[in-house]
Amino acid sequence: MTKHFQTQTELLKKKILRLTAMVEGHLRDAVRSVIDGDLKLAARIVVADDEIDQYEIEVEEECLKTLALYQPVAIDLRFIVAVLKINNDLERIGDLAINIAQRTRNLTRHRGVGVPFDLNGMLTKTMAMVKGSADALVASDTALAWKVCEDDEEVDRIHQDAFGKIQEGIRARPDLVDYYVSLLSVSRNLERIADHATNIAEDVIYMVDGEIVRHSGIDNVDNCQADDRET
């Protein structure tokens, strides 16, 4: 690896961490807007999406420039490819955070009803997965990447629990169906965010080991099959 290429890869690592921090902040604020009924915060998140979109384009352009200038091979090439894919997943997480924020207005109308599932626990676990996947990328840490994959099962469990309890809520209070559907949307978007964090972890494993986890036959594959990428 040349000194110039090493400098460029360090720049890409800093940029992807910066994008991760931006996305984490949007996600935290989105759920906070729902929990607190903060319509102004929700509106700011929607407007701020342009910042994430622009930064995602910037990271992609840096990756393409690096490919053109240095023509990396082996693990260096896998790193650039992984950053390109991770960049897309982070942008999608930002979009899903907006989806959550947009449910605030409807949920605020029924603040006294309460949330029948562990929303805070789901948020904490999902955000830990997003951060863990980015940390795994920067440190080339496949053990941490596998941990992120394993944590996806817990988020899936909370989402399934939410689905059942929301069904019960609708049966008991059909007049609140809009409220419960909005809650289900929040849970579903968090579950999809966890899937994108799992995608990132899979890409770290590919980058370091050259192993495509989604198509492997190893025992751990069941923990890492949540590919939810969208274009």
Span 68-124, pLDDT tens digits: 999 999 889 998 999 999 999 999 999 999 999 999 988 888 878 888 999 889 988
Whether pTM exceeds 0.85: yes
**Cα 122 to Cα 118: distance, rounded to the nearest angstrom:** 6
Residue 217: is its pLDDT beyond 60?
no
Name every residue whose Cβ is closer than 8 Å to that of residue 179 and which is 6 or more positions away in sequence.
Answer: 106, 107, 109, 110, 113
Q: What is the CATH T-level fold of the domain 3-223, as seen in this structure?
A: Methane Monooxygenase Hydroxylase; Chain G, domain 1 (1.20.58)
Dihedral of the alpha carbons of 119, 225, 57, 139, in degrees to the nearest 10: 90
The pLDDT of 54-64, averaged and rounded, is 96
Residue 218: is its pLDDT beyond 50?
no
| Domain residue ranges in the chain | 3-223
In this prediction, residue 227 has a pLDDT band, given cuts at 50, 70 and 90, of low
State the average pLDDT for the chain.
88
